[in-house]
Amino acid sequence: MSQTFGMETPRNTDPIAHRPPVRYLVVIDSGGSMVARLFVATREQAAEFDAMVEEVTAMTLGLTPETGAMGTEWDAALQGHNATERAAALVYTLPI
């Protein structure tokens, strides 16, 4: 039997910096289905999921998207998408 009472105190965690906040939400066609891709400010992908979930609606409520992700800043981030998909993409800039 343990000599401790109640729950143990949590162990110290590694002092690793948190990931940077998500800055962009891109809703783009991917082979016939719409996906939502989240990017940090450096255009590094943080997540990808189905664009039809209600969280996308909650994140974009009151925001106006830019149509098209044709700029050179999106070349590496969206390299798997063709020009037609990128031209029709909706790019939301999320408030931090």
| pLDDT tens-digit series, residues 11-42 | 777 777 778 999 999 999 998 999 999 999 99
Strand arrangement, sheet containing 66-67: 45-50, 33-40, 22-30, 90-93, 66-67
The HSE-up count of residue 21 (CA atoms within 13 Å, CB side) is 5
For residue range 41-96, list pLDDT tens digits in order. 999 999 999 999 999 999 999 999 999 999 999 999 999 999 999 999 999 999 98
Domain range for residue 35? 22-93
Q: What's the rounded Cα separation, in Å, for the pair 35 and 2? A: 51
Residue 17 lies in a domain: no
| Average pLDDT rounded to a whole number, residues 4-15 | 71
How many independent structural domains does the chain possess?
A: 1
Q: Structure pTM?
A: 0.81
pLDDT score at 68:
96
Residue 27 lies in a domain: yes
Q: What's the rounded Cα separation, in Å, for the pair 32 and 49? A: 14
Q: Check residue 32 and give left, alpha or beta (phi > 0: left; psi -120 to 50: alpha).
A: left
Residue 11 lies in a domain: no
Residue 79 lies in a domain: yes
Residue 15 lies in a domain: no
